[in-house]
């Protein structure tokens, strides 16, 4: 059958409040054109993030009722630990309230001044935690990742030559190598098993540990199963075990492929590092058998980690995302190809070529998607990721100007995807008249969360570039 159907029935619903365009314009002014400042009740399709926004299954809700809230030694922790050990193969499981807490613990011990930590592309919280420790967060995505239109499947891969060069140049300064699966900041693109194996080999040669940022491990495994030569016949569980057998540990946000609304963990093999991490855990997160989570959350994650490996769920999720990306591409709308695992990424640099990088085409496009149809998305471009040139102190552009339409798990239906397509097409048809944005106020780190922006004057229609 060609029609994509959700492989679940809906048991509980949450109404969506409809707004009109004039109301949304006012709301945007009040939010200083920062979509993070909008109230969620003012959003029709909330694609800001796929993190913690998914729907839990009836089995997860049943597990929530089993949650045991004992301070120490809760059976809920034992179920959580068993799930993580079984799926990822790491002995030590350290619960944290979400992914960034795991990062904070890890880099608090392994980061520090004069250290360099390479990754295909650090997610913004990972980067912030590394930089907060005094270390340098280095992005080394493969060359194919530079071209958003290239159909190369594993654009999440690490540039192996750049990794070698980094380890030689910064000998003695690299405490660990990281790989993010899937590469969120780079377009939600997967990393191949072949690339992971090669990274492991390089780490072995330099005697360095490899940690995986595991947030979207199941989506990455599905894309390996579907596209990597020789992987088609393997179960997702088997692929996941092989991926993590190549690593020394991982950080995880259970808000993504844990199918939960909160939670995370750090998992690893090194006994003495685990001991030191647990000592830090108790200071900032909580006791070793709950970290920053409640017994209920531990149960929801233990169950979610198993459900996310359901092949039918993965097939539907990827088909639904591909459906949107393929239709956009057919209409010539610039979208990152191939579709990533958790989101559709519009290439705002090519969507709004009349805007310079420091007029923030990604933010301008995200704002228009909200104006047009109440769709909330997220800029992943120079507003979020611009860096200061260490020599001149001037801002340098991000690699790409993207807008991410992240799809919450099991939350929206296929008709929501059709609505999304219609909204994007409407904005595309009036793209030539879309003006840029300016920053009015912004904090020095993670500025996209709280910054205040303004619209630059609209280009008069007569001067606008013709729409081809």
Binding window for ligand F0G (CB under 6 A); candidates: 120-128, 383-391, 418-426, 455-463: 120-128
Question: Is 255 an interacting residue with respect to ligand F0G (CB under 6 A)?
Answer: yes
DSSP, res 467: P
Provide the mask over 162-201, with x wherever binding to ligand F0G is found by CB under 6 A and - wherever it is not.
------------------x---x-----------------
Q: Candidates 62-70, 97-105, 189-197, 312-320: pick the segment binding ligand F0G (CB under 6 A).
A: 97-105
Window 210-239: residues binding ligand F0G (CB under 6 A): 213, 215
Minimum CB–partner distance for residue 100 and ligand F0G (Å): 3
DSSP 330-378: HTT--B-SS--SSEEEEEHHHHSTTS-GGG-HHHHHHHHHHHHH-EE-E
Q: Is 99 in the site for ligand F0G (CB under 6 A)?
A: yes
Would you say 358 or 411 has its CB closer to ligand F0G?
A: 411
Nearer to ligand F0G, 107 or 428 (CB): 107
Q: How far is the CB of 125 from ligand F0G (least distance, A)?
A: 4
Residue 98 engages ligand F0G in binding (rule: CB under 6 A): yes
Q: Name the segment binding ligand F0G (CB under 6 A); options: 122-130, 296-304, 318-326, 457-465.
A: 122-130
Strand order across the beta sheet in which 402-406 lies: 343-347, 402-406, 378-380
Stretch that binds ligand F0G, among 119-127, 186-194, 321-329, 356-364 (CB under 6 A): 119-127
Q: Which is nearer to ligand F0G, 34 or 431 (CB)?
A: 34
Diameter over CA atoms, the chain: 70
The tokens of 456 are what? 């630059």
- Binding residues for ligand F0G, rule CB under 6 A, total 15
Binding mask 330-369 for ligand F0G (x = CB under 6 A): ----------------------------------------
Nearer to ligand F0G, 446 or 464 (CB): 446
Peptide bond into 95 cis (omega under 30): no
Residue 95 sits in the site that holds ligand F0G (CB under 6 A): no
Q: Does 34 bind ligand F0G (CB under 6 A)?
A: no
Rounded distance, CA 287 to CA 41, Å? 36
**Quick one: 185 or 435, whose CB is closer to ligand F0G?**
185
Tokens matching residue 450: 């709280």
Asked if 261 touches ligand F0G (CB under 6 A), the answer is no
- Of 8, 18, 9, 1, which is closest to residue 419 (Cα–Cα)? 18
Choice between 74 and 184, CB closer to ligand F0G: 184
Q: Do strands 45-46 and 375-376 pair parallel, antiparallel, or not at all (unpaired)? A: parallel
Does 123 engage in binding with ligand F0G (CB under 6 A)? yes
Q: 125 or 382, CB closer to ligand F0G?
A: 125
Distance, CA of 248 to CA of 261 (rounded, Å):
27
Kindly state the tokens that stand for 30: 């009040």
| Phi, psi for 64 (deg, rounded to 5) | -55, -40
Helices (H), 175-310: 193-205, 217-227, 236-245, 271-284, 295-307
Residue numbers 51-70 binding ligand F0G by CB under 6 A: 51
Letters for 126-155 (x = contact with ligand F0G by CB under 6 A, - = none) are x-----------------------------
Contact (CB, 8 A) for 380 and 228: no
Based on the shown chain and the rule CB under 6 A, indicate whether residue 125 belongs to the binding site for ligand F0G: yes
Q: Does 285 bind ligand F0G (CB under 6 A)?
A: no
Residue 243 CB, nearest distance to ligand F0G (Å)?
15
Q: Nearest approach, Cβ of 180 to ligand F0G (angstroms)?
A: 5
Task: Choose which of 24, 79, 92, 100 interacts with ligand F0G (CB under 6 A).
Answer: 100
What whole-number distance in Å separates Cα of residue 130 and Cα of residue 126? 6
Question: Please, what is the minimum distance in Å from the beta carbon of residue 172 to ligand F0G?
Answer: 27
Cα angle vertex 20, ends 9, 335, to 5°? 65
Residue 213 token pair:
């940022």
**In the complex, which residue's CB is closest to ligand F0G?**
99
Q: Which stretch binds ligand F0G (CB under 6 A): 94-102, 157-165, 268-276, 302-310?
A: 94-102
Listing DSSP states for 82-130 in one string gives HHHHHHH--SEEEEESSHHHHHHHHHHHH--TT-EEEESS--HHHHHHH
- In angstroms, the CA 379 to CA 384 distance is 7
Among 54, 264, 286, 340, binds ligand F0G (CB under 6 A): 264
Q: Are 290 and 71 in contact, with CB atoms under 8 Å apart? A: yes
Q: Residue 250: enclosing H or E segment and its boundaries?
A: strand 249-253
Consecutive H or E run containing 79? helix 75-88
Name residue, tokens 């992240």: 406
Of the candidates 49, 192, 231, 294, which one interacts with ligand F0G according to CB under 6 A?
A: 49
Strands (E), 134-208: 136-139, 177-180
Question: Residue 155: is it exposed, middle or buried by C-beta count within 10 angstroms (0-12/13-18/19+)?
Answer: buried
Which positions lie near ligand F0G, rule CB under 6 A?
49, 51, 98-100, 123, 125-126, 180, 184, 213, 215, 253, 255, 264
């Amino acid at each position: 059958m060609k029609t994509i159907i959700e492989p679940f029935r809906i048991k509980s619903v949450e109404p969506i409040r409809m707004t009109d365009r004039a109301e949304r314009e006012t709301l945007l002014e009040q939010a200083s054109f920062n979509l993070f400042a909008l109230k969620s009740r003012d959003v029709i399709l909330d694609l800001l993030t796929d993190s913690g926004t998914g729907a839990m299954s009836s089995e997860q809700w049943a597990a929530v009722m089993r949650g045991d809230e004992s301070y120490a030694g809760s059976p809920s922790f034992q179920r959580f630990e068993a799930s993580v050990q079984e799926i990822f193969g790491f002995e030590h499981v350290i619960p944290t309230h979400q992914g960034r807490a795991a990062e904070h613990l890890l880099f608090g011990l392994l980061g520090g001044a004069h250290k360099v930590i390479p990754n295909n592309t650090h997610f913004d919280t990972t980067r912030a935690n590394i930089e907060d420790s005094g270390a340098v967060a280095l992005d080394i995505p493969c060359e194919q990742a530079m071209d958003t239109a290239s159909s190369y499947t594993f654009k999440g891969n690490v540039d192996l030559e750049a990794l070698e060069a980094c380890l030689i140049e910064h000998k003695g300064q690299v405490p660990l190598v990281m790989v993010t699966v899937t590469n969120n900041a780079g377009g939600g693109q997967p990393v191949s098993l072949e690339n992971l194996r090669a990274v492991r080999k390089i780490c072995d040669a330099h005697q360095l540990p490899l940690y995986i940022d595991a947030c979207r491990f199941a989506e990455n495994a599905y894309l390996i199963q579907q596209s990597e030569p020789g992987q088609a016949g393997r179960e997702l569980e088997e692929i996941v075990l092989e991926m993590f057998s190549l690593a020394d540990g991982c950080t995880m946000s259970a808000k993504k492929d844990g199918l939960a609304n909160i939670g995370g963990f750090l998992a690893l093999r090194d006994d003495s590092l685990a001991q030191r991490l647990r000592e830090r855990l108790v200071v900032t997160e909580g006791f070793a058998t709950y970290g920053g989570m409640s017994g209920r959350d531990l149960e929801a994650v233990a169950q979610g980690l198993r459900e996310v490996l359901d092949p039918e769920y993965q097939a539907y999720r990827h088909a639904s995302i591909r459906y949107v990306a393929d239709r956009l591409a057919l209409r010539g709308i610039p979208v990152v190809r191939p579709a990533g695992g958790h989101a559709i990424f519009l290439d705002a640099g090519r969507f709004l070529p009349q805007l310079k990088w420091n007029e923030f085409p990604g933010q301008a496009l995200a704002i228009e998607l909200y104006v047009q149809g109440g769709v909330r998305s997220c800029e992943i471009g120079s507003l979020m990721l611009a860096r200061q040139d260490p020599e001149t102190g001037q801002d340098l552009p991000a690699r790409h100007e993207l807008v991410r339409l992240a799809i919450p798990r099991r939350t929206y239906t296929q008709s929501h995807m059709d609505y999304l397509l219609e909204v994007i097409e409407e904005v595309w048809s009036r793209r030539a008249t879309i003006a840029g944005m300016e920053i009015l106020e912004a904090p020095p780190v993670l500025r996209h969360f709280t910054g205040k922006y303004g619209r630059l004057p609209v280009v008069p229609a007569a001067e606008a570039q013709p729409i081809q």
